[in-house]
Amino acid sequence: MTIYTKTPKGQDEIAHRSGDVGQRARRLLILIDGRRGTDELAALSADDAIATTLSQLEEAGLIEAVAAAAPERVMPAAAVEPASRAASGGQAPKAGDLQLARDFMMNTLRTFHGPYAKLGLMKRIQAAPDRDGLMALHEEWLASISETRIGRKRAEELTERLMAVM
């Protein structure tokens, strides 16, 4: 799996819309951030011909391959630590762990719905005082994520990642 990043020409295209890039390629160009691999880009863009679109963007000089991603994603240590602590029946989650959970919930909402949709839910997530408050919002968050096709596919994975952080 290859990871792509935008070239300066690609960044300029995003900023100024020259009209040389089709809608499908532009959508994919916007999603390319130097961190997502081709599999994740394919899932997010719902582009059946992603290989062709990527090669067109690369030939146009708008993107470049930066690295081959590892076949398996490793969760960050910050996300693994709370899960192991909870499994051992350890301490209550720290405020920083709760903030990670809040950020995860809000970032996934923004990813699947955009920055201005679901603002009420985002405000309630941000205002949740503790783990129980966030857990009370879990069902609504999951239902919101599941409103999109990709969200339905990834709902179980996202829930597992959220629980690992909390």
88 lies in the same domain as 144: yes
What's the pLDDT score for residue 86?
A: 46
**111 and 50 part of one domain:** no
pLDDT at 80: 43
Same-domain check for residues 42 and 95: no
- In a shared domain, residues 137 and 90: yes
Q: Does pTM top 0.75 for this prediction? A: no
pLDDT in tens, 40-65: 888 887 777 888 888 888 998 988 88
Are 47 and 22 within 8 A, CB to CB?
no
Distances (CA, A) of 80 to 50, 74, 164: 32, 10, 6
Q: What is the pLDDT of residues 72-123, one digit of tens each?
A: 444 444 444 444 444 444 445 565 678 888 888 988 888 888 888 888 988 9
**What integer pLDDT is reported at residue 99 of this predicted model?**
87
The CA-CA-CA angle for residues 27, 44, 49, to 5°, reads 70
Q: Which domain holds residue 83?
A: 77-165
